[in-house]
Structures are given as C-alpha cells and as structure tokens.
Structure 1
Amino acid sequence: MNATDRTPADLLRSALAADPGRPLVTFYDDATGERVELSVATFANWVAKTANLLQDGLGVEPGDRVALLLPAHWQTAVWLLACSSAGVVADLGADPAAAEVVVSGPDSLEAARACSGERVAMALRPLGGRFPRTPEGFVDYAVEVPGQGDRFVPYAPVDPEEPALSVAGAEFSGAEITERARADAPALGLTGPGSRLLSGLPYDTWEGVSAGLYAPLATGGSVVLCRNLTLLGEEALAKRIESERVTTTAR
C-alpha cells in the first residue's frame, strides 16, 4: 500500500495496481455452506458497479448517508468501499429514517421502510442471486448492479477529511479509517502482503469492520470473512485455517 493513500477507495486502487489477481475477500456462511472468493480485481469491479449505482442510479451526492442494514458479508464489504468511492457516509445499522438511501438484507426489510429515500434490497443469496420477487418499495440490487459501468469516476473529488463511516455510535473520516486500519494491523497479526486474517466478528463495531475488511486491505493482506462461525466446530475450524492458509484470526 502507498503512504499517500488517504481513503479506503485509495487503498483498493493501490491493491489493484499491485496485484489484481490475488485473493482479497473469501466469504463463508456456515449456516448455508456458501463459500465465495473474490480477487482484488473482481472485488474492485463489484465496487465500481455499486458506486455507479449509488451515483447515477440512486442519485447520491457527497455527504449523503447510506444506511446499511446488513450483516458481515462480502456484499457488505463491497458497499463499504463503494460508499467511500462516491464520498457518501456508510452508516452501519443506522436509523433508516435519517438516511437518504437504505440498503437492507432480507431480515430487515420492514425496518428499512422507514427511509423516505431510495431503498435497495439485498437477497444475500449465493453468487449474488436476486430475490424470486422484488420486495415492494425496493429495487433489487442483484437486478440493478450488473448493468452498471465497470469503471467509476466520482463527479467531485472525495475529501478524505469528510465523514465516511458511522458504526456503533462513532463516526470516522476516510483518512481516519485508513490511519486506524494501519494502526490496528500489528495487534491483529497482519504483517504485510501475504497475511491472511480469518474474522468471525460482526460488522457492528469498529473492531469488526477493521478486522473484517479495512486492516487487511490497508496492509496488502486478505480476509477470510466468516458469518455464523459459531456453528462450526473447532476441528472444522482448524481445517479451514489450514486450507485457507490463514496466518491470524479475530473471533
């Protein structure tokens, strides 16, 4: 990563320039058996399409708030980086009524209806599958995002000092996210490129999003992001750690 990187979107661009083919996010859901692995290039493509959806499809402007009612999931990680790319605030677990846009998983659709702005529904199905029937009052992310552009350019430069993330009652600018992520790396056992962190932490605290995305990204590492990890026995977990070449864990 480059010392000049000031936002999470900068970190992703540097990762893409350095080694686009390496794994960045490997996701497991131990309730469904799902496994998805995204290289830096594939992840960046999802981010670009989602940022284009935000900017052109949903009409967000810098400083707008996007309420993310989503679990720790590879698609949540995409939204976090897309929000950073577009200069809007990713608000994890926020009150939808206070946001310009809400993005909801299947379990929080009723709460998401409090948003008077644009509403996006996420089925969170394997391979990014769509809802069998789009929930009323929402657009289906899996329907809308494939047609978006593969390159994203914000209409206005993103200010690293402006708010970029809100989680657990705390707000962080893009610059603070990158600085804190780098500072977290040693305690998480991330020593640089090749480090691979397995995280079972939810995305409802800074510690969860740092271990589950930002710190590995900031250090040139990768994350094995596990949802419902408590359903996995210790023997199966040890096998996963070995097979995924995990170098450090956060649980």
Structure 2
Amino acid sequence: MNASDRTPADLLRSALAADPARPLVTFYDDATGERVELSVATFANWVAKTANLLQGELSAAPGDRLALLLPAHWQTAVWLLACSSVGVTAELGGDPADADYVVAGPEGLEAGLACPGDRIALSLAPLGRRFPAPPAGYADYAVEVPGQGDRFAPFVPVDPDAPALVVDGTELTGTQLVERALADAAGLGLAPGGRLLSGRPYEGWSGLSAGLYAPLAAGGSVVLCRNLDRLGAEGLAKRVESERVTVTLAD
C-alpha cells in the first residue's frame, strides 16, 4: 500500500499499479470442486464493471446503503470493493428493508425482496454463470455486468471518513477499515507477497479481514475457501503446499 491509501479502493489501485499480474484472490468451493484464480488486474476489472453498474445503472451515490446477502465468495469480495469505489456503505447480512439496494445469492433471494430499491441476484455458480431465468424481483448480475465499462471514475470523490462498511453491528469508515486491516496483517505476520488461506465465513470482521482486507492491505493475496471442512486435514495440507500459503486460518 501507499501512505496515501485511506480506503479499500485506494488499496486496490495501489496493488494494480505495483503488480497487476500477481494473484489476488484464489477461490475454492469444496462442495462443488470449483477453483477460480483472479489476478489483481482481473479482480480490478470486475470491481470497475460492478462499480459502473452501481453508479451508472442503479444511480447509487455516496451515503447509500447496500445489503449483501452473500457468503464468502470471490464475487462478494468484488462487491465489497465496488461499494468502496462508489462510496456506498456495504453491510454483510444487513436488513434489506433498511437498505437502498440488495445483492443476494440463492439463499438470500426471499429475504432480499424486502428491499424497496433495486435488487441484484447472483447465481454463485461456477464461472459466474447466469440464472436460467432472472429470479422474480431481481436483475441477474451475470447479465447486467459484462457490458459495463472496464474503467471506473466516481462522479463524487469518496470521503475516507464516511461509513464504508457495517460489520458486527459497527460502522467503519474507509480509514478505520484500512487501519484495522493493516493491524491485522501485521499481527498475522503477513508480509508483501504473502499468501493467506482463510476458511472463515464472511459473517464478521475476522472473516472479512482474513478473507480480503488484510491480504489486500499487506500487498499479499488470499486463498478463500468455502466449505473447507469437507477437505480434511490431508487435503488442507496439500492445498497449503500447492498454493504456497504462508499463513493459514482454517477455522
């Protein structure tokens, strides 16, 4: 990171400038056998397209609130950084009825209908496949995002001291989020270029930090594992070796 980085979007821009080709997010789902690896450049492209969808198509603006009804997943990480890019406050597991927008996976579709604003559905299927037909009341992310622009510029500069994330019932500004992520990375001994394997869910700060923010702040990368309990000790050891993991948080 650079000394001027005060939001997660700033951290991503610095990572892109430093080494766009290196891996940033490697995602496994051990219930389906899926593996997806995104370089910094590829991840940043997804973030730019998603931020353009938010700002241009949905008219989202700084101060708006978005409920994310999604598990630990590479597309969840994309949405978190897209919200930061626009200045939208993201809340994992937030109350859709109190949100301006909702983004939901298959398990959150029914609850998400309580949102009075725009609703986006993610199939979470391998390769980011679209639904056979968009769920009632939702637009399909996989249909809407491909045509968005590959570069993003906010209409209004994002205030690093404005709320960026609601987690564990607490609002964090962009600045506070970056500070926490840096402290966590240091506490874990995660150095630039390090690889953190996380099996923690995106249900609280510990999972979000391990599964995205701390590796990003440290100039490292994350091996994000869903349903890791299905892998077993021997399988986990093999993954740690094959992915060149330097820090493991399996629980």
Q: Same fold per TM (> 0.5)?
A: yes
Distance in 2 (CA, whole Å) between partners of 1:54 and 1:188 is 34
- What is the TM-score when the length of structure 2 is the normalising length? 0.99
Name the residue aligned to 1:213.
212
The residue correspondences of 1:87-236 to structure 2 (distance < 5 A) are 87-191=87-191, 193-236=192-235
Is the partner of 2:111 in helix, strand or coil?
Answer: helix
Instruction: Look up the SS of the partner of 2:106 in the other structure.
Output: coil
Deviation at 1:249, TM superposition (A): 1.0
1:49 & 1:82 partners in 2: Cα distance?
A: 8
SS in 2 for 1:107: helix
**Whole-angstrom distance in 2 between the partners of 1:108 and 1:35:** 23
Assess if the C-alpha contact under 8 Å between 1:71 and 1:203 holds in 2.
Answer: yes
Give the CA deviation at 1:188: 2.1
Deviation digits for residues 68-120 of structure 1 (CA, Å, limit 9, x no counterpart):
00000000000000000000101110000000000000111000000010000
User: What is aligned with 1:85?
Assistant: 85
Which residue number corresponds to residue 23 of structure 2?
23
> Aligned partner of 2:213: which letter?
Y
Alpha-carbon separation, structure 2, partners of 1:245 and 1:99: 40
1:243 aligned residue: 242
Deviation per residue, 1:135-190 (Å, 9 max, x gap): 01100000000000000000000000000001121110000010110011122230
Name the amino acid aligned to 1:195.
G
Provide the rounded CA distance (Å) in 2 between the counterparts of 1:236 and 1:249: 13
Q: Is the 8 A contact 1:188 1:249 kept in 2?
A: no
1:5 aligns with 2:5: yes
Counterpart CA distance in 2 for 1:108 and 1:73 is: 14
The separation in 2 between residues aligned to 1:228 and 1:130, in whole angstroms, is 22
- Work out the number of aligned pairs and report it: 250
* Paired letter, 2:154: P
Aligned sequence identity (%): 74
Runs of 5+ in structure 1 lacking a partner? Answer: none
Q: State the Cα RMSD in Å.
A: 0.6
8 Å Cα contact 1:65-1:88 kept in structure 2: yes
Q: Is the 8 A contact 1:188 1:211 kept in 2?
A: no
- TM, length-normalised to structure 1: 0.99
Contact 1:212 1:223 in 2 (8 A): yes
Distance in 1 separating the partners of 2:188 and 2:207? 11
Distance in 2, matches of 1:242 and 1:85, equals 34
* Aligned-partner Cα distance in 2 for 1:187–1:207: 12
